[in-house]
Structure 1
Amino acid sequence: MAALTRDQFFTILAPTVIRVKREGSTMFPSVRLAQNLLETGGVIHSWYNLGGIKVGSGQTNAYWHGEAVVKGTWEYVDGRSANTRAAFRAYKSVYHFYKDLDLLLAAPRYARVRTAQTPEQQAEMLQACGYATDPAYATKLKSIIRQYGLKRYDALGSRQVPKPEKFKDAEQIAVLYEGEVVSDGYLLNGVTWVPARLLGESLGAVIDWTGSKVTVNGTELESMLSEATGYVQIRDLAAELGLTASWDAAARVVLLNRE
């Protein structure tokens, strides 16, 4: 992947971090983003493991299906840094990684991480509970949070956004593209509806409104209007853009991919 500036790194990850927090994650967005930078050096690899989670027992779940990559790493052993190689979990997306990390942090071992009242305390509890072997892990996390002003994302993560009136009975799900959350989707009667302009324009489409229908690159699509926003079915939008839309039933997300 092309090198990212620190601002680009955080900007790319922030929407997914905020989404997961709104879904009930106990991790502060600021701590999560700081951890991602510390663990990756600011590179988002195609296997999307941003927290150094190893394969471990190999127990699969809704977010990790057993895929892995083997790569070099380093650990502190007897107070000294040592190079080694290890098998790390590989994921379909950043969203899948974050949700799997939350499952890991739900273990009794990490109770103090979950109950931390501030980002600084949570960073300290990650180290105290043995998440990493680096004796300076908490100090580094707190330094990154301060340096890049990451606490600004914490308030966004705690803000709940109501569903559109037409979709008040729908299940709100995440739509993912290139590993990141790009839009909310609303699953209603087996069909996922998405905000046409928000999602379509972010993917390079020309979106317009005829007065009764959304058009995508000039093609009218079945539409629904709610609070002055036009919604279309995700599969229709994907087809117009040369994408495939697949449903991950276990993770409850839609994945958009190039055909």
Structure 2
Amino acid sequence: MKKVWIDAGHGGKDPGAVANGLKEKDIVLSVALEIKKRLEANYDGVYVLLSRSTDVFLALAERTSLANKAGADILVSIHGNAGGGSGGFETYRYINASAASTALQNGLHTAIVDMLNKVAVGVIDRGQKAKNLHMVRESNMPAVLTENLFLDVATDAAKLKKDVVIQAIIDGHVIGIAKYLSLKKKDAGDQKNNDNKVAVLVNGKKVADGVLDNGTTYTPARAVAEALGATVVYDAETKTVNITK
């Protein structure tokens, strides 16, 4: 089983880039949630873990610590960009990155640019870069940070407001990850088993997937509670879930 760690940048009190009616933290969270959904629904032998599944703040050290403790095989940190003049798409690896990280970056970058070029005109490819960024430096596994267009560049912002562009960004990540990990697609029968999944929203925002079983919908207590500002504690001995606020 391959473990993929998807890190949606920023969150909570840290909105990231804000411009042209867009917030980076919201865009990258929706992208991260859908990457998890599509990888697990369409490929065998993959489990996707998220730094955050709701609009919460996590320090950079918390993010990499969680990924390292989980023993993830790869880490992909998803961001939107700002301050880049003409805008565009770019990816980052660590300055002293391993060959594995470079290979992951190449596969992701190529797949995302290819998908963007299929649905949008004038996407600028700013290239594959190396930088001393925490998320790619402190991760024990191959790690890449993607910068998915510029919120403060009008032409890029207009693209990010189109669902077809967001879908291309999601699909590009999925294709790049699947290729790097040599994941095999599920057959049609296996994919049908995902038809009982139910999107769970809190105040209009998706937080996780639930399951529909014989007319009853089961929702993940932790994701829902945390989205409402509550704390969840699970007692393994008594098999009790305690939710407090």
Q: What is the TM-score when the length of structure 1 is the normalising length?
A: 0.29
Of the two structures, which has the highest relative contact order with CA contacts closer than 8 Å and spacing of 6 or more? 2
TM-score w.r.t. the length of structure 2 is: 0.30
Larger gyration radius, structure 1 or structure 2: 1
